[in-house]
């Protein structure tokens, strides 16, 4: 059986719009972390740190872990895939 050709994007390892989506996700994840850090510092200085702040922090951490998991999974797939496997 002949291998299926894979169209590679502008950069090696990203197919289609993968690089654009990666940069988009990275920028907004970093922006969210900055906003949450500022909020946490203000709330802590005002001594008004509450349950909602813990919820925001927990959701930010889970978002970062989910993004990291997805990046590592796609990176490991790119390392192990050969042209015959695609």
Confidence band, pLDDT 50/70/90 cuts, at residue 9: very low
In a domain, 45, yes or no: yes
Residues contacting residue 40 through CB under 8 Å, at least 6 positions apart: 49, 53, 57
Inside any domain, residue 5:
no
Q: Structural domain tally of the chain? A: 1
Q: How confident is residue 40, by pLDDT bands cut at 50, 70 and 90? A: very high
Q: How far apart are the first and last CA of the chain?
A: 12
Has residue 4 been placed in a domain? no
Q: pTM for the whole thing?
A: 0.61
Full residue range of the structural domain in which residue 64 is found: 22-78
1: in domain:
no
Q: Angle 62-55-67 (CA atoms, 0-180°, nearest 5)?
A: 15
Q: CA neighbours within 13 Å on the CB side: how many for 63? A: 15
């Amino acid at each position: 059986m002949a291998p299926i050709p894979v169209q590679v994007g502008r950069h090696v390892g990203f197919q289609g719009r993968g690089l654009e989506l990666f940069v988009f996700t990275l920028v907004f994840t970093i922006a969210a972390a900055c906003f949450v850090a500022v909020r946490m510092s203000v709330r802590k200085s005002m001594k008004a740190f509450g349950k909602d702040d813990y919820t925001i922090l927990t959701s930010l951490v889970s978002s970062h872990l989910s993004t990291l998991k997805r990046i590592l999974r796609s990176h490991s797939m790119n390392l192990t895939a050969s042209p015959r496997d695609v």
